[in-house]
Structure 1
Amino acid sequence: MLFNDTYQTIREATEGIFRDKGSKFIAYAYPIKTENEIKEIIAALRNEHAKARHFCWAMRLTPDRNVHRFNDDGEPSGTAGRPILNALLSADVTNILVVVVRYFGGTLLGVPGLINAYKSATQEALSAANIVQKTVNDVYEVNFDYLAMNDVMKIIKEEQLNVLSQDFDTQCQITFEVRKSNLNQVLNKLDKVEGLKTVYLGTV
């Protein structure tokens, strides 16, 4: 296979905690689908932890894991966001945001201490997480004549496609998702159905 059509993410939000010299680092891990969710999550945490000094974070997005961002939020450059991201890379998870909330304990930890603290807090949150494997799926819509209904339903059943919506009027329409690695096989079968049109809607 030319590409990997599976990826790992976390099922639900979790947290982990790490303490060093009086400072407390609370890591919150969230499964996310888009960057738009980040602002709201951080705003809620700032509200909840009004006395905390820093809210450092890193995220990874997309099944091919190539979208990532991080933020040191006032900590020395490279001591917070990057170690959080590195922990996500090590765990090979994506579609995830980790925010580490730091309460300062009065003693400076120095660069190695900070890197270790942010990484360790993130690892704690990840070890508490339920990591699940998901497949990369393409979503297609097919339009066909009522007469082709049996042929189309047979393919959907044979290939165990996940039907997202269907509308059977005079013109029939079905939206389904198919695992990327099975895509060509499914499209070849659908191509053989007379008068059927397929429309690609995106990847999930």
Structure 2
Amino acid sequence: MDSNDSTATRYTVPSADSVHEVEIKRSRFITYLYRVESEVQAREAIAALRKTHFDARHHCSAFILGADRMTQRSNDDGEPSGTAGIPMLDALAKRDTPDGSPLSDILAVVVRYFGGIKLGAGGLVRAYSDSVSQALDAATLIPRQRLRIFTLDADHALAPRYENDLRAAGYQMEATVWEAEHAVLHLGIEDTDATAAQLAEFIATLTSGAGTARPTATKWVDIA
């Protein structure tokens, strides 16, 4: 995803796919959470679960995509309209995350094995919403941030100190390239002009005015 695709600079994603099951009035609700980055990927995962759980009555789904969460879809898959997909989508969209950033690039699929007892419309809404919420409680969620990448040239002898000081100051350091004449440090910052200005001041102090950090690109990274 390119930085030009959105105005958001940070959101939250699942760190890995997961599954969580609850039983409500003899019905089994099996919630699968997937990390997805496109509608095609989401629909492929749903289709795969239909094959795995071919004997289940319902395979309800909801997903949110993109840093700005512009793509949101849900499907009741045979449950009464509005009792499954939308409550699932609401559970994803309104999820509180550790750093307060919105949850996205996530697919939830709830596979229901009917247990013979009807839950009614209100019961279904609660069941599907709670199933997704409990699955999110059990999942590991991590921030994903858009970084502005800079390079900094440094003498071979000075590069290790520069790298250590930058890392200690909280900058995201990537692999240093050791060229014949000098080393090239690569670092990432939050993709804002204010953070870039702070970096420029830090580099000026670090190098006694001799070094300049040059912007090269932007990219999205998971912050573990």
TM-score under structure 2 normalisation?
0.67
What's the counterpart of residue 129 of structure 2?
A: 119
Distance 1:51 1:74, change over 3 A: same
| 2:121 aligned partner, one-letter code | V
Distance 1:157 1:23 in 2: 51
Superposed displacement of residue 27, structure 1: 1.2
Instruction: Give the alignment partner of residue 16 of structure 1, picking from 16, 21, 45.
Output: 21
Listed one character per residue, the Cα deviations across residues 40-72 of structure 1 (whole Å, up to 9, x for unaligned) are 432332232111122111223445555533222
Distance 1:18 1:169 in 2: 61
State the identity as a percent.
31
Distance 1:196 1:5 in 2: 21
| 2:76 aligned partner, one-letter code | D
Q: CA RMSD in A?
A: 3.6
What's the counterpart of residue 169 of structure 1?
A: 179
What's the counterpart of residue 203 of structure 1?
A: 220
Q: What residue ranges of structure 2 are gaps of 5+ in the alignment? A: 1-6, 98-102
Distance 1:51 1:6, change over 3 A: same
Distance 1:187 1:59 in 2: 40
Instruction: Give the alignment partner of residue 140 of structure 1, picking from 121, 140, 149.
Output: 149
| 2:186 aligned partner, one-letter code | T
| 2:145 aligned partner, one-letter code | V
Larger strand share, 1 or 2 = 1
1:101 pairs with 2:111: yes
Distance 1:28 1:196, change over 3 A: closer
| 1:142 aligned partner, one-letter code | T
Contact persistence 1:152–1:193 (CA under 8 A): no
1:60 pairs with 2:64: yes
Instruction: Give the alignment partner of residue 34 of structure 1, picking from 27, 34, 37.
Output: 37
SS at match of 2:175: strand
Q: In the comparison of the two structures, how many residue pairs are matched?
A: 199
SS at match of 2:83: coil
Distance 1:193 1:50 in 2: 66
Q: What residue ranges of structure 1 are gaps of 5+ in the alignment? A: none
Deviates more, 1:51-60 or 1:108-117: 108-117
Contact persistence 1:166–1:175 (CA under 8 A): yes
SS at match of 2:30: strand
SS at match of 2:170: coil
1:186 pairs with 2:199: yes
Distance 1:172 1:68 in 2: 45
